[in-house]
C-alpha cells in the first residue's frame, strides 16, 4: 500500500508549489496549513531534501523552499522516494523466478495491473496537483 507518509510528502510538495516561486515556508507553517503532525513534516522534509527537490535554510527567518520546477516531479517519483519501490503484491518484490506456470502467469498480470496504476500516477505532476480543482478532476487523462 502507498503509505500515509508518501501521501503527506506529496501534499507537502503541493503546498510549497502553491506559493509564489522561491517563497520560503517553515515546516511549522506547512504542518499547520495541511494538518500534518509537525514532526512528520520534519522527517519527510529530510527525505525530500535528499532527493534534491527542496532546500532548507536554518536559523530564524529560515525555512524550506522548492528547489526545482514542480511540473517535473510526478507522484510516482515522490511515492518511491518515501516508500521505496512500489509493489501491489509481495511477488513483485522477489527476484526469484516463479516455480509453476500459473504462478508465473499471475506475476505477469500483477505487473500489468501495477503498470496501469503507475501510469496514472506518472501522469500527474506536483504542479498539476497544486493547480487542480476537485471539480475538474475528470480532466485527468482517462
Partner DNA sequence: TATAATATAACCATATTGGTTATATTATAA
Partner DNA sequence: TTATAATATAACCAATATGGTTATATTATA
Interaction site with a second copy (CB under 8 A) = 1-4, 7, 10-11, 14-15, 18, 34-35, 75, 87-91, 99-106, 108-110, 112-114, 116-121, 124, 129-130, 132-134, 137, 140
Nearer to DNA, 31 or 126 (CB): 31
Q: Are 15 and 30 in contact (CB under 8 A)?
A: yes
**Rounded to whole angstroms, how far apart are CA atoms 130 and 128?**
6
Is the four-CA dihedral 113, 76, 134, 131 of positive or negative sign? Answer: negative
Smallest gap, in angstroms, from Cβ of residue 60 to a second copy? Answer: 28
From the list 42-50, 95-103, 118-126, 131-139, the region that binds DNA by CB under 7 A is 42-50
Q: Which three cell numbers stand for residue 107?
A: 506475476
Q: Are 77 and 84 in contact (CB under 8 A)?
A: no
Based on the shown chain and the rule CB under 7 A, indicate whether residue 56 belongs to the binding site for DNA: yes
How many other CB atoms are found less than 10 A from the CB of residue 35?
Answer: 7
Q: Which residues bind DNA (CB under 7 A)?
A: 1, 3-5, 8, 25-28, 37, 39-40, 42-43, 45-46, 49, 56-64, 83, 90
Amino acid at each position: 500500500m502507498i503509505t500515509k507518509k508518501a501521501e503527506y510528502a506529496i501534499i507537502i510538495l503541493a503546498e510549497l508549489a502553491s506559493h509564489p516561486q522561491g517563497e520560503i515556508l517553515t515546516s511549522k507553517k506547512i504542518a499547520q496549513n495541511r494538518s500534518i503532525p509537525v514532526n512528520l513534516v520534519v522527517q519527510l522534509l529530510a527525505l525530500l531534501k535528499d532527493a534534491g527537490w527542496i532546500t532548507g535554510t536554518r536559523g530564524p527567518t529560515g525555512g524550506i523552499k522548492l528547489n526545482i520546477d514542480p511540473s517535473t516531479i510526478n507522484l510516482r517519483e515522490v511515492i518511491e522516494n518515501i516508500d521505496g519501490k512500489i509493489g501491489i503484491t509481495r511477488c513483485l518484490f522477489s527476484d526469484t523466478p516463479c516455480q509453476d506456470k500459473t504462478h508465473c502467469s499471475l506475476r505477469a498480470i500483477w505487473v500489468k495491473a501495477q503498470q496501469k496504476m503507475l501510469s496514472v500516477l506518472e501522469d500527474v505532476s506536483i504542479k498539476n496537483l497544486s493547480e487542480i480543482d476537485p471539480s475538474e478532476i475528470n480532466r485527468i487523462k482517462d
